[in-house]
Amino acid sequence: MSWFKREGTEIETSDEKRVRTEGLWIKCDGCRQIIWKADLDANLQVCPKCQRHFRLDARSRIANLLEPGYELVDLELKSTDPLEFTDLKSYKDRLKKAQEATGLNDAIVNAIGQMGPHSVVLSVMEYSFIGGSMGCVVGETIARAVDRSLETRHPLIIISASGGARMMEGITSLMQLAKISTALGMLDDAKVPYISVLTDPTTGGVTASFSMLGDLNIAEPGALIGFAGPRVIEQTIRQKLPEGFQRSEFLLEHGMLDAVVHRGEMKQYLIRALDFMQHAQ
CB-hemisphere CA count at 13 Å for 111? Answer: 25
Query: 3-state class of 197 per DSSP?
Result: strand
pLDDT at site 17? 46
- Please enumerate in sequence order all residues whose Cβ is within 8 A of that of 81, keeping only pairs 6 or more positions apart, or say none: 90, 91, 92, 95, 168
Domain coordinates in residue numbering, the chain: 17-54, 57-280
How many beta carbons lie within 10 A of that of residue 18, not counting itself? 10
What sign has the CA pseudo-torsion 176, 260, 227, 170? negative
Query: 3-state class of 248 per DSSP?
Result: helix
Angstrom distances, CA of residue 246 to CA of 223, 231, 266: 8, 11, 21
pTM of the model: 0.90
User: Domain 57-280 - what CATH class?
Assistant: alpha beta
Ordered per-residue pLDDT tens for the chain, 281 residues? 554 455 555 444 445 444 555 679 999 999 999 999 999 999 999 999 999 999 999 999 999 999 999 999 999 999 999 899 999 999 999 999 999 999 999 999 999 999 999 999 999 999 999 999 999 999 999 999 999 999 999 999 999 999 999 999 999 999 999 999 999 999 999 999 999 999 999 999 999 999 999 999 999 999 999 999 888 899 999 999 998 999 999 999 999 999 999 999 999 999 999 999 987 76
Strand partners, 219: 198, 260
- Please enumerate in sequence order all residues whose Cβ is within 8 A of that of 210, keeping only pairs 6 or more positions apart, or say none: 142, 158, 160, 177, 180, 181, 184, 196
How many beta carbons lie within 10 A of that of residue 207, not counting itself? 22
pLDDT at site 11? 47
